[in-house]
Amino acid sequence: MTKALVRHARLKLGHLEIKNFSDGELYVRPKEKVRSKATWVIGSTMPPSDNLLKLLILINALKTAAAKKINVIIPYFGYARQDWIDQPNAPLTAKLMADLLAAAGADKILTFNLHSGQNEKFFTKPLVHLSAYPALAEYFKKMCLNNLLIFSPDQGGIHRAEQFAKIYGKKNLAGPVGYCKKYRPRPNVARISLPKGADVKNKNIVLVDDLIDTAGTLAGAAEALHRAGARAIYAAAAHGVLSGPAIARIKKSPIKEVLITDTYPMLKAKQIPKIKIISAAPVLKKSIV
């Protein structure tokens, strides 16, 4: 995303000196003069053992060098799903990440599609919460799909599907936003079905979520829609984490195409014909120029 953003926003790309000392400690130093200048840092919190620490050291180095303002762009905010205490002594890691960025010296943070509204409450510095859904919706508009319905793969994501449908234009849809039901007949076993009365026969479906991780729920929802007679099934998500068995599940599923953005780096080994990547840089550009 960095190269795309620099191109779209006509920014100057700075250079860094990054090295490891013999004991494994990281050293990150900006090579540009930043005193009294506004700076934009594009970083990642994933994987945290390396990238997060690099990001924090860089932010602090800019602060020490008297940068006028340090704007931090984190396209995919890692640990956002650890945003509530579900059992005794569980960590609230999403809040810790926000606190670390503030302590390092960030003045403003920009990110895409946080997992929940709860995340926004953790930031003590100004937060620009962007959505990749306009870019995703525009892609499907250009496809001119007839009899289109927007679905959430589970009950918990209905609000995301509603957001997407509003951006797409509800008047252009064949019906209200739908959802799939996930239940557990026994421990560690999940089943996904459609609510009674859901009519998807001969309909084109776009399954909408904030991220695709292992793709278990997504693939299960697609199977349920396929069994119910859906014509073609697509998926759209801001973040393509695609960990573990995700690629195998997507390959095996009846999903025709999965659309994601470049907020999360995609390894070549995970690039398959079913997965289409579009850039979220144009959306980000509007917030920095």
Question: Is residue 283 included in any domain, yes or no?
Answer: no
Cα–Cα distance measured from residue 197 to residue 174, given in angstroms and rounded to the nearest whole number: 15
CA atoms within 13 A on the CB side of 273: 2
Q: Are residues 200 and 75 in the same domain?
A: no
CA 191/CA 183 separation, integer angstroms: 5
Q: How many Å from the N-terminal Cα to the C-terminal Cα in the chain? A: 16
Angle between helices 158-168 and 133-143 (to 10 degrees): 60
Q: What local confidence, expressed as pLDDT, does residue 188 receive?
A: 57
CATH number at residue 247: 3.40.50.2020
Does 171 qualify as catalytic in the annotation?
A: no
Q: Supply the pLDDT for residue 198.
A: 93
Q: Are residues 124 and 15 in the same domain?
A: yes
Q: What is the pLDDT of residue 50?
A: 79
pLDDT of residue 189: 63
193 and 123 co-located in one domain: no
pLDDT of residue 94: 93
Residue 211 maps to a domain: yes
- The domain boundary, picked from 81, 104, 130, lies at 130
Q: Which residue in the list 182, 196, 201, 251 is annotated as catalytic?
A: 182
Is 258 part of any domain? yes
Report yes or no on 110 lying in a domain.
yes
Number of residues in the chain = 289
Q: What is the pTM of this model?
A: 0.92
In terms of domains, do 223 and 150 share one?
Answer: yes
Q: What is the pLDDT of residue 267?
A: 83
Task: Choose the final residue of a domain: 72, 102, 130.
Answer: 130
Residues 60 and 113 in one domain: yes
Structure tokens belonging to residue 273: 């014909």
DSSP string of 38-102, one letter each residue: EEEEE---SSIIIIIHHHHHHHHHHHHTTBSEEEEEESS-TTTT--S--STT---HHHHHHHHHH
Domain, as residue range, for 243: 133-278
* Number of domains comprising the chain: 2
Which of these three, 130, 161, 194, is where a domain ends? 130
Task: Say yes or no: 268 and 143 in one domain.
Answer: yes
Instruction: Per residue of the chain (289 residues), give pLDDT as tens.
Output: 787 777 777 788 899 999 999 999 999 999 999 999 999 999 988 777 779 999 999 999 999 999 999 999 999 999 999 998 989 999 999 999 999 999 999 999 999 999 988 899 999 999 999 999 999 999 999 999 999 999 999 999 999 999 999 999 999 999 999 999 988 777 656 789 999 889 999 999 999 999 999 999 999 999 999 999 999 999 999 999 999 999 999 999 999 999 999 999 888 889 999 999 999 988 988 888 6
Q: Helix count (H) and strand count (E) of the chain?
A: 8, 14
